[in-house]
Chain A
């Protein structure tokens, strides 16, 4: 009975992790190995060409070193601009920049609102709080079209503000932060006030350090949101130079697919998948505690 239990738990590992292994296996194999029927469990001919193709993608111009029609990789060493205008590098930096600005803004908004709702008592507080977290229900999923119209009208389309501003305010974050602030003893706040500290100083020097776990949860949620988002970033950032890593890589794969008459460039897709997977994996590994806690705080008590 006990053995059966462990077999079930560990057997499930296989089902859930197999696709990821299969992605890795295909990404380091030559096209013949990928197309082989019956498929082999291990790569047939190890190669890093798939990665090289993606990493050699340049911004602007074709300058690409890869001919999708013949599936040849031309000598990319000739291409001297490779590392100067590397698209992947640019997209990574874009993503990093967007994340940094978004996270800073998110922490500022959530901390101020969460502090106000956690510490102050005032008339109509519960109603106002409902207004502040109504966004959990009216999410961007339902309202994607009006969201799009709004952002276009505000002139946010085509620049980074379009991906930073709309989701900088996170209702779930306010909810988590408020709950966290409420667990802090208000005597600390009173003591700081008696010492003559201003409210913003109390927030920055007393509350924020105490709420570090809640801030961590928020930052991790923002990081995952930025790294995982595809459709919204695609709508807001139509130009290649400004795109995020996710959008850039996927659009590149779709572009090559269109060039080769609709054939799925499998090796390149899989290499792209691995490249997109790495940052998410790092965030997950290093912030697993916050990630799981955030989902628990945001989901369980909603």
Chain B
């Protein structure tokens, strides 16, 4: 047991600076969020409106569009970024060390390149007249459209940009959990005459269950959280908003603090539920 006399004071001193920051920048916003979600503010007067913002959110037909778009983003981003890095991790783990490092490096390049920089490039690539996409689709006979002024192509393009930007972390998670598998397992399987392919599908893949679960959680959240890309590609127009972009748009662009706060509270519970479901599934997997 650590701690001689006088240590309690020391403990308080050590934790105090961080505690101040947590109260100011996690606690306060959280309380504001709950408080503002129940009132209507127009900067002059504040009025208690109860759960009106919550009801408004669920009856707003525009919010249905946000819901549909968010789901499309989440499902596309999640499925591709869960599966593609998994395939590459399975391909690369028994390659020489430098190939593994190389794969990690390549997958990370778009991740550290901020999404904002990517939008600068893709605003050119998606140009309806001179862009590369228009040229490439023209080669196969698809007529050019205003890629970023059409709901489905815009969502597809933004989802694609997001996907390329977040594949590094899943690859890393898979690679490190493959590394933590006991190598004796492979030796035993090989002695029993299992082929490399069988080892990968019958031994490695099932052991990656928890990692896959984690990646699904992270990438689904990434889908809901797309913000800067949407801001710079479509400005949120053409029904391309995600939940989080919608909160930003309502609260800051349109100064509907109350409505935005109510939607933040809803999102908070959605994320919390996702985390808890993941925990539950993990536990079930262990039993």
Give me the interface of A with B, judged by CB distance under 8 Å: 5-6, 8-9, 12-13, 15-17, 19-20, 22-23, 26, 34-39, 108-110, 112-113, 115-116, 119-122, 128, 131-132, 134-135, 137-138, 141-150, 154, 165-169, 174, 186, 189, 193, 199, 203, 224, 227-228, 230-231, 235, 246, 250, 253, 264, 266, 269-270, 272-273, 276-277, 280-281, 283-284, 288, 291-292, 295-296, 299-300, 302
B125 adjacent to A22 (CB under 8 Å)? yes
Given A121-B3, A276-B114, residue A146 in contact with residue B120 (CB < 8 A): no
A-B contact pairs, 17 of them (CB 8 A): A9-B92, A37-B130, A109-B17, A109-B21, A128-B15, A141-B244, A144-B247, A145-B248, A145-B261, A145-B264, A150-B25, A250-B232, A276-B114, A276-B116, A281-B112, A296-B176, A300-B177
B2 adjacent to A300 (CB under 8 Å)? no
Determine the interface band of chain B, counting residues with CB < 8 A from chain A: 35 or more
B2 adjacent to A231 (CB under 8 Å)? no
User: In whole angstroms, what is the CA distance A9 to B122 when docked?
Assistant: 24
A-B contact count (CB 8 A): 241
Q: Which residues does chain B contribute within 8 Å of A141, judged by CB atoms?
A: 225, 227, 244
Q: Which of B73-81, B98-106, B181-189 contacts A (4 or more CB under 8 A)?
A: B98-106
User: In whole angstroms, what is the CA distance A198 to B129 when docked?
Assistant: 69
B110 adjacent to A16 (CB under 8 Å)? yes
Is B109 close to A, CB under 8 A? yes
- In order of increasing CB-CB distance, the 6 nearest A-B pairs are A145-B251, A169-B21, A228-B114, A146-B29, A273-B120, A146-B33
B173 adjacent to A300 (CB under 8 Å)? yes
User: In whole angstroms, what is the CA distance A35 to B167 when docked?
Assistant: 31
In the complex formed, the residue of A with least CB distance to B114 is A228
| Distance (whole angstroms) from the CB of B83 to the closest CB of chain A | 14
| Distance (whole angstroms) from the CB of A205 to the closest CB of chain B | 16
User: In whole angstroms, what is the CA distance A13 to B244 when docked?
Assistant: 31
Q: Which residues does chain B contribute within 8 Å of A146, judged by CB atoms?
A: 29-30, 32-33, 36, 261, 264
B91 adjacent to A9 (CB under 8 Å)? yes
| Distance (whole angstroms) from the CB of A19 to the closest CB of chain B | 5
